[in-house]
Amino acid sequence: MRENSKRKGSPNNNTEGEYKAMSDKTLKIGALQLNNPFLLAPLAGITDKAMRSLCASAGASLTYTEMISAKGLWYGDKNTRRLLDISPIGDEAGDPFSSSAKDFAPARCSAGRSDFPVAFQLFGSEPEIMERAAMSLALGKWMKRGEFLEDVAEDAPAGEYTSGPAANGPTIPALLDLNAGCPVPKIVRNGEGSALLKDPDKLYDVASAMVRGVRAAHEELAAQRSESLLLPVTAKIRMGFERGENNAVECAKVLEAAGISAITVHGRTREQYYDGRADWQAIADVKRAVRIPVIGNGDIYSGSDALRMMYETGCDGVMIARGALGNPWIFEEAIAMWEARNADVQADYVPPTQNQRIEMLLHHLNLVIADKGEKIAVKEMRKHIAWYTKGMRGATAVRRAVNNIDEAEPMKREIRRLVR
C-alpha cells in the first residue's frame, strides 16, 4: 500500500488552497456527467454484475464490464453476449436481487444498485470490425458475421436471449472504451490490447474507427427520434510497451486526434505487468499534453491514494482496480476525502469492521449465486474470499477449506467462522 506521505518529485506543488480548488470538480466525459471522479476499472473475470453493483452502491460513479472481444461481437458469440448483459440481477418482474441475495444485505452498503452507469470496454485491432462493433453497441443491436440482427430470437440457440432484457440487443452503455493496455500474452500476440502502443498509426486507425461507428449510430438514432446523445468513446493505455519505454504522450495525442473523449493512463509498461511502482509522472505528462479529460490508474489502495494521485498529477479522475478487490468501501472512503478536500485526514469515513467485511462477503456470494447459479458462484468466489479475508486471524484455514468446497451452504459456514 502506498504510504500517506507526499511522494518526492510531485509534478504539482500545490498549496492546500490550490489543492482544494483543483479537486472540487466532478468528471464529465463527452455528454456523460458523473457525480464524482472515482471509477471502477474493467477487470477480466472480476467486474461482473455483482462486483459492479456493490462498487456502485459504495459510490463508484462509473463501472466497466469485463473486456469484450470485438470479434466475438462481430460473429455473435454467445459468451460475448453474456458479458454485455448489464440488466439487473434477479427476476424479470423488476426485483433487482433474489430473496436469497437479500439475506445478508450489509448495513454499510445498500442491497445493490441497478441504476448506475456501465461502460463497455472493447478489445480488437481490425478497424472494420471495431467500427461495426462500436456501431452495434451504440445502436443496441446484436450482430452475426458483421450484420445487424433484427430478429434475435430466431438466430439465438435454444434458451439464449429469447426473452428478457437481452432479447433484442445489448443495453446501450454509458460509454465505449478501447482497450489499449491489456498485457496478457494471448491478447498481445493478436496485435490487440497493449500491442497497439507499439504502432501509434494503428492505434489511431482503431480508435477513429470506433468513433466513426458511434457517430454513424448517432446519426441513425437521431433520424428516428428527436433526441439522441452522442455516446462517448474513450481509451485506456499504459505508459508504453517495453520496460523503460514511455510513449504515453504520443499515444494520448494520437487518441485525442482520433476523436477520443477521455483517456485513462496506467503508469506502467506492458512488460511490467503489475510489478514495481506505477509512474504517476507519466499520468501528469499526459494531462499537460491533451485537452480532453485524463483518468489516472495504478497503485490506488486507499481513498488517500486516490486523492494524492489527483493532487500530484492533476488528473480529472481516478480509476480503481486491485484496490477494490475485497474492498468496495474504497469508493466510500475516496468520496469522503474528496468531499472534505483533504487527503491527509479520514474525513467522515470509518473503515468497516471485520464482521461488516464478512457480511459483505456473504452478500457478494449471494449476488453471484443469483446471477450465475450456485456451481459457478462457489468456484468464482474463492478468489474473492481470499481478498475479503486478507489479514484476518483464522483466514488461512478458511481459505484452505473453501478451495475444496463445491456447494454454497458449506462455503457460507466456513466464512461465518470468521465472525467475531
User: Tell me, what CATH number does 380's domain have?
Assistant: 1.10.1200.80
Do residues 175 and 230 both lie within one domain? Answer: yes
Q: Is residue 377 part of a domain?
A: yes
Q: For 155-199, where are the E strands, in sequence order?
A: 175-180
Do residues 232 and 362 both lie within one domain? Answer: no
Do residues 417 and 316 both lie within one domain? Answer: no
- Residue from 317, 306, 250 nearest 278 by CA: 306
Calculate helix-pair angle for 200-224, 248-257, nearest 10 degrees.
30
**Helix (H/G/I), strand (E/B), else coil: 339:** helix
More confident residue, 306 or 9: 306
Q: Which amino acid, 163?
A: S
Domain coverage including residue 114: 16-349
Residue with grid cell 504502432, as numbered in its chain: 199
The average pLDDT across 213-232 equals 81
Do residues 188 and 220 both lie within one domain? Answer: yes
Do residues 342 and 359 both lie within one domain? Answer: no
- Residue from 344, 339, 269, 345 nearest 23 by CA: 339
Do residues 379 and 258 both lie within one domain? Answer: no
DSSP letter string, 96-154: SS-HHHHTT--TTS-S--SSS-EEEEEE-S-HHHHHHHHHHHHHT--EETTEEPS-HHH
SS3 string, 346-413, reads CCCCCCCCHHHHHHHHHHHHHHHHHHHCHHHHHHHHHHHHHHHCCCCCCHHHHHHHHCCCCCHHHHHH
- Residue from 249, 295, 299 nearest 276 by CA: 299
294's enclosing H/E stretch is strand 294-297
Distances (CA, A) of 297 to 364, 399, 415: 25, 29, 32
Confidence of residue 345 (pLDDT cuts 50, 70, 90): low
The CA-CA-CA angle for residues 120, 124, 130, to 5°, reads 70
Do residues 331 and 384 both lie within one domain? Answer: no
Confidence of residue 17 (pLDDT cuts 50, 70, 90): very low
Do residues 231 and 273 both lie within one domain? Answer: yes
Q: Is residue 268 part of a domain?
A: yes
Structure confidence at residue 50 (pLDDT): 95
C-alpha cell belonging to residue 26: 466532478
User: Does residue 337 carry a pLDDT above 50?
Assistant: yes
- Report d(CA 306, CA 326) in Å as an integer: 17
Q: Is residue 11 part of a domain?
A: no
Domain boundary among 317, 349, 381: 349
Chain length of the chain: 420
Is residue 149 a contact partner of residue 142, using CB atoms and an 8 Å limit? yes
Q: Of 132-136, 271-275, 282-286, 369-373, give the lowest mean pLDDT range.
A: 271-275
Q: Of 227-231, 286-290, 377-381, give the lowest mean pLDDT range.
A: 227-231
Average pLDDT, the chain: 84
Structure confidence at residue 262 (pLDDT): 98
Residue with grid cell 468466489, as numbered in its chain: 381
Q: Is residue 414 part of a domain?
A: yes
Catalytic residue, candidates 55, 182, 251, 315: 182
The average pLDDT across 4-28 equals 50
Structure confidence at residue 114 (pLDDT): 53
Do residues 338 and 374 both lie within one domain? Answer: no
Distances (CA, A) of 70 to 36, 52, 83, 212: 29, 21, 12, 15
* Counted domains in the chain: 2
Domain boundary among 349, 382, 401: 349
Confidence of residue 130 (pLDDT cuts 50, 70, 90): very high
The average pLDDT across 179-189 equals 94
- Report d(CA 296, CA 358) in Å as an integer: 30
Q: For 25-106, where are the E strands, in sequence order?
A: 28-29, 32-33, 38-40, 63-64, 68-69
DSSP letter string, 191-241: T-GGGGGG-HHHHHHHHHHHHHHHHHHHHHHHHHSS--PPPPEEEEEEEES
Q: Is residue 2 part of a domain?
A: no
Q: Is residue 285 part of a domain?
A: yes
Do residues 345 and 290 both lie within one domain? Answer: yes
pTM, to two decimals = 0.86
Is residue 142 a contact partner of residue 170, using CB atoms and an 8 Å limit? yes
Domain boundary among 321, 349, 377: 349
Q: Is residue 71 part of a domain?
A: yes
- Report d(CA 420, CA 412) in Å as an integer: 15
Do residues 329 and 308 both lie within one domain? Answer: yes
Q: Is residue 58 part of a domain?
A: yes
Do residues 286 and 378 both lie within one domain? Answer: no
Per residue in 22-81, pLDDT (tens digit) is 556 689 999 999 999 999 999 999 999 999 999 999 999 999 999 999 999 999 898 898
Per residue in 141-178, pLDDT (tens digit) is 888 888 887 655 444 443 343 333 444 578 889 999 99
State which of 88-97, 147-156, 385-394 shows the largest mean pLDDT: 385-394
More confident residue, 246 or 13: 246
State which of 5-9, 15-19, 38-42, 344-348 shows the largest mean pLDDT: 38-42
Is residue 62 a contact partner of residue 350, using CB atoms and an 8 Å limit? no
Cα pseudo-dihedral 217, 220, 224, 227, rounded to 10 = 50
Which domain CATH number covers 236? 3.20.20.70
User: Does residue 18 carry a pLDDT above 50?
Assistant: no
The average pLDDT across 222-226 equals 70
Structure confidence at residue 3 (pLDDT): 36
- Residue from 316, 248, 28, 49 nearest 166 by CA: 49
Confidence of residue 116 (pLDDT cuts 50, 70, 90): confident
Q: Does 109 qualify as catalytic in the annotation?
A: no
Is residue 180 a contact partner of residue 211, using CB atoms and an 8 Å limit? no
